[in-house]
Amino acid sequence: MARFRDGDTGSGVHASRRQTITRVLAGVATESLIAEYVDPWTDERVCRSWTALGGAADNRYTLDLVPALRRSTTPKLLVWGEDDLHETVEYAERFAAEMPRTTLVRIPHADHIPTENAPDRTGRALAGFFAP
């Protein structure tokens, strides 16, 4: 995100998103699927909004939620691609270890969007969690 904070909201953002989506959808990436994912970034307004959001991101907002999450008795499910290079599985492991009633389902051979890389395994994890 740092490289986009200087105002590149056009072709650089679109090219970056295309490259990332192509990588995270490896094995299932068809040209039409990639095009569907990157289509929003063809709109200059979307690019500006996305880069502004990323540029303003501050981990304090997330950290402010930690005390409430630690007190929460609500069951939580993390479905995580083991091959995620953006948010490595170690983040999920730490969350699951520190937050009560958290179940972590690691999806082998899945990246940042496990619903695309492993829809069957992801679906089974969700169905098992929500089943009565």
Question: pLDDT grade, residue 3 (50/70/90)?
Answer: low
pLDDT computed for residue 5 by the predictor: 55
Query: Which tokens is 5 given?
Result: 């904070």
Which is higher by pLDDT, 5 or 131?
A: 131
**Predicted confidence (pLDDT) per residue in 27-85, tens digit:** 788 899 999 988 888 888 888 887 777 777 778 888 899 999 999 999 999 999 999 98
Q: How far is CA 24 from CA 8, 18, 51, in A?
A: 23, 10, 20
